[in-house]
Amino acid sequence: MIYRSLLISIFCLMSNLAFSAEKELDKKTTLFDQTFSWQIMAGLSAVYNPYILTDVKQEEVNDYLAFSLLIDFYYKGFFLQSNNRRIEGLFQGGELGYQLLDKNDWALDIIAKPYLPGFIPEDIVKGQNKRIPSIEGLKDRDIGLGIGLRYSKYYEDAIFSFDLATLKPTDGKGWLADFFYSHLFLYRNWDIYVGTGFTFYSDAIVDYYLGVGHDEVTTARAYYKAKSGFRSQLELFARHPISKNWTFNAGITQSYYSNAMSDSPIVNKHNITQVMFGAVYVF
Amino acid sequence: MSFRLSNGFALLGIFSLGLVWPYSVNSAELTPITEQQLIAQPALCVALHQGRKCFTKVTLTWHVQALGNFCLYQKSPRRKVKCWQKSKGNSTLLEFESSEKLTFQLINQQNNLVAETAIDVSWVHKATPRKRRWRLF
């Protein structure tokens, strides 16, 4: 209910700001030399993407391969954009939004995006070649679709952004604050990004995804009421053109999860290293 | 939109095929060296983004029918690349670094244009009105 109210309020705010934003677009011929643009990309990548959940591993060859369709669309301040660094997909990286304010060196957007992937314990167990008592019988955790505001600050070769969002599966009780800084280094035809991120999750979010309810308690997992927690990240990503339509992409991300997450009976990791490399075709 | 592959290797094959097909139009492959010619190899430099400077190593090869003194010039801005004495053919390696197409000319000792070639610049991503921020995972 709170989530729905917030959604309505933000879209009302968006409507009020739309007219003034339109006027700004007309003036900014450098940045807004196009009012409409789109781009479609398809990617194939190899990914090493371990789960934080206890005993869940990448098992099959297909678990290490990912195909993705990435769509970017922009029209007069509205945008749909996929995460074209994150080759694995739109669902965990795509964003639908509206540009409330866009100045030379900063911007304010309203965005809707899946902040957390969610999981279906039954499907996870089916995909593994073994029993996982800590996961079996858990209720589904829905995708963490969130709506929020993003402030972005642009520098010469870097960007800082801050998202404040609430997530739908927690009925608006859960919120997160996401800070991200990325610096671009150019070396010949390479784009090399070095980034760091910090995401604070409220207790309602951590508890929804990693808590163990009274009705989920078994001998393999005790009751767990989670507190608020955070994830910090370091990433390195590189991109190089192969041809007019193809790019090579590679990246590594190191994530650290706070005690509120790693103390959960369904989690057994503090740190995760994720690696991907692949090619993207730009249509 | 993300898909786990049920037949990953088949798709890998398709993508690999596409990967090698469209790239790098090379003037050396299109026309054999016969008369007075100046050839750039590769003749195309691809940058990631429109407007970005493109970097590549280019071999410029020239061939004429009679011995003479020749100089290779970049057309605009005009810059001498290299000269040869009493030669009818040679090549040089060039560090190409430009955001736009560059033309190179072979000039004889009478200051006449003998042959000309160009190295084009292309890009993968058009300039976009949106500034981007992305996280890998």
DSSP A27-43: H-TTTTS-SEEEEEEEE
Q: For residue A264, what are the CA distances in angstroms to A31, A134, A194, A224, B51?
A: 47, 10, 31, 6, 50
What value does the mean pLDDT of chain A take?
83
Based on the structure, what is the number of domains in chain B? Answer: 1
CA proximity to B51, closest of B125, B134, B130: B125
Whether residue A141 has pLDDT greater than 70: yes
Query: Does B24 lie at the interface with A, CB-CB under 8 angstroms?
Result: yes
Q: Compare CB distances from B3 to A67, A86, A182 and report the shortest one's residue.
A: A67
H-run or E-run covering A66: strand A65-75
Place of tokens 């190593």: B57
Beta-bridge partner residues of A123: none
Give the distance from residue A215's alpha carbon to the nearest chain B alpha carbon, in angstroms.
32
β-strands B113-125, B44-49: how paired? parallel
| Token pair in block for residue A139 | 């209720």
- Give the number of beta-carbon pairs within 8 Å between A and B: 150
Query: Does B131 lie at the interface with A, CB-CB under 8 angstroms?
Result: yes
Check if the beta carbon of residue B38 is closer than 8 Å to that of residue B107. Answer: no
Contact partners, residue B30, CB within 8 Å, separation at least 6: none
Residue B89 lies in a domain: yes
pLDDT at B129 (0 to 100): 58
Between CA A281 and CA A184 the distance in angstroms is: 22
Residue B108 lies in a domain: yes
CATH number of the domain enclosing B57: 2.60.40.10
Query: Does B112 lie at the interface with A, CB-CB under 8 angstroms?
Result: no
Give the distance from residue B124's alpha carbon to the nearest chain A alpha carbon, in angstroms.
5
Between CA A26 and CA A32 the distance in angstroms is: 7
Residue B69 lies in a domain: yes
pLDDT digits (tens, 9 = 90+) for A17-69: 333 333 333 333 333 345 777 888 888 899 998 989 998 888 888 889 888 88
Encode B49-69: b = buried (16+ Cβ within 10 Å), e = exposed.
beebebbbebebbbbbeeeee
A84 confidence band (pLDDT: 50, 70, 90):
low
Check if the beta carbon of residue A178 is closer than 8 Å to that of residue A205. Answer: no
Encode A229-252: b = buried (16+ Cβ within 10 Å), e = exposed.
bbbebebebbbbbbbbbbbebbbb
Selected residue with higher pLDDT from A88 and B56:
B56
Q: Compare CB distances from B8 to A61, A188, A241 and report the shortest one's residue.
A: A61
E strands, chain B, are: 2-4, 37-41, 44-49, 54-74, 79-98, 102-108, 113-125
Q: Which domain holds residue B105?
A: 26-125
pLDDT digits (tens, 9 = 90+) for A168-200: 887 778 999 999 999 999 999 999 999 999 999
Q: Is B99 left (phi over 0), alpha (psi -120 to 50) or beta?
A: alpha
CA proximity to A159, closest of B135, B57, B113, B55: B135
pLDDT at A72 (0 to 100): 82
Between CA B88 and CA A94 the distance in angstroms is: 59
DSSP state of A218: B
Residue spans of the domains in chain A: they are 2-282
CA proximity to A134, closest of A192, A206, A203, A56: A56
ipTM: 0.73
Between CA A240 and CA A279 the distance in angstroms is: 10
* Arithmetic mean of pLDDT, A146-157: 93
pLDDT at A35 (0 to 100): 72
Which portions of chain B are predicted below pLDDT 70?
1-34, 128-137
Give the distance from residue B45's alpha carbon to the nearest chain A alpha carbon, in angstroms.
9
Q: Compare CB distances from A189 to B48, B131, B134 and report the shortest one's residue.
A: B48
Residue B33 lies in a domain: yes
pLDDT at A59 (0 to 100): 83
Between CA A246 and CA A233 the distance in angstroms is: 28
Give the distance from residue B115's alpha carbon to the nearest chain A alpha carbon, in angstroms.
27
Contact B126 A89 (CB under 8 A): no
Query: Does B95 lie at the interface with A, CB-CB under 8 angstroms?
Result: no
Q: For the domain covering A2-282, report its CATH number.
A: 2.40.160.40
pLDDT at A92 (0 to 100): 57
pLDDT at A156 (0 to 100): 86
Task: Spell out which residues of chain A touch residue B98, defining contact as CB-CB under 8 Å.
Answer: none
Q: Give the best residue of A36, A38, A65 to mutate against chain B (max B CB count within 10 A).
A: A65
pLDDT at A94 (0 to 100): 82
- CB neighbours of residue A52 within 10 Å: 20
Contact A246 B124 (CB under 8 A): yes
CA proximity to A146, closest of A123, A175, A119, A104: A175
Place of tokens 């809707």: A112
Whether residue A237 has pLDDT greater than 50: yes
Residue of B nearest to A38 (CA): B128
Beta-bridge partner residues of A279: A44, A248
Residue B131 lies in a domain: no
Give the distance from residue B10's alpha carbon to the nearest chain A alpha carbon, in angstroms.
12
Residue B137 lies in a domain: no
CA dihedral defined by A128, A132, A138, A140, rounded to 10 degrees? -20
Q: Give the best residue of B21, B130, B132 to mutate against chain A (max A CB count within 10 A).
A: B130
